Chain A
């Protein structure tokens, strides 16, 4: 296991790259979902206030 983490001496370079990649992948999913949920909530609120008029 520690051999795997060591990556032949390049662990300090390999793992940050994979960590950054996972972070960017996760951020994109999270940001897109948050945007959509926010826009949806806002649109529904506007629709509710207009139909309540």
Chain B
């Protein structure tokens, strides 16, 4: 198979331009969906019969937990592509993803703790779901710290990529933890098999928020990727002409 098209697509000037043109196509729909989802979740959805209005935390907790895993998966896949095909753009994408993922992992943990207090009577328990999500935060921190600690960029890319790829075993553990072990954490609201465990007027704001957060991640990743490309390509000739427009 001929991979030249991929290398052309992944060439820094090309990718820089495409990323810039794509950003608004992710950013504006993301903003509209998140505003709609917030309104739906806070105002239109009825209170839960068990949890009252506290259940509304799900509208920010679940999307941030979803992103914490989606971003990690994206980072690990990008890192693997960078390692196997030696595509520098993929390493740049992995580097751009890490801080975004770390911030949403922290948000998932924080909103989960605040939700846990009134529902479980405690901010934190060392059960499988919470502990594996905390490990995810440490993995992000480890990948970022490892990258920052190595001066040579290629070696830093490879080392961070290996750690990111090894850490991917944590993702299925997080996902299945609520089924494999006894836990205070409620099982998934949405699953591929079976009906969602939520009424329609509660469900649509959650779906809208999940989609909004996902597109939002795309937009932020593209902007960070452009910054990363500029940093990595600072002595390349195309920058002189490419940045003029």
Contacts and interface: CB of A to CB of B under 8 A. Distances in A.
Interface of A: 4, 7-11, 13-14, 16-18, 20-21, 24-25, 27-29, 31-33, 35-36, 38-40, 42-44, 46-47, 50-51
B147 interface: no
Contacts of A18: 38, 42, 60
Nearest to B100: A28
Contacts, number: 100
Given A8-B47, A25-B216, A16 B114 contact: yes
A24 B227 contact: no
B103 A28 contact: yes
A14 B220 contact: no
Nearest to A29: B220
Contact of B223 (A7, A10, A33, A44): A33
Interface in B207-245: 216, 220, 223-224, 226-228, 230-231, 233-235, 239-240, 243
A14 B107 contact: no
A21 B111 contact: yes
Contacts of A11: 53
Contact of A17 (B43, B114, B226): B114
Given A14-B56, A18-B60, A32-B220, A46 B235 contact: yes
A20 B31 CA distance: 17
B52 interface: yes
B92 to A, nearest CB: 12
Nearest to B54: A10
A7 B103 CA distance: 26
Contacts of B114: 13, 16-17, 20
A20 B105 CA distance: 12
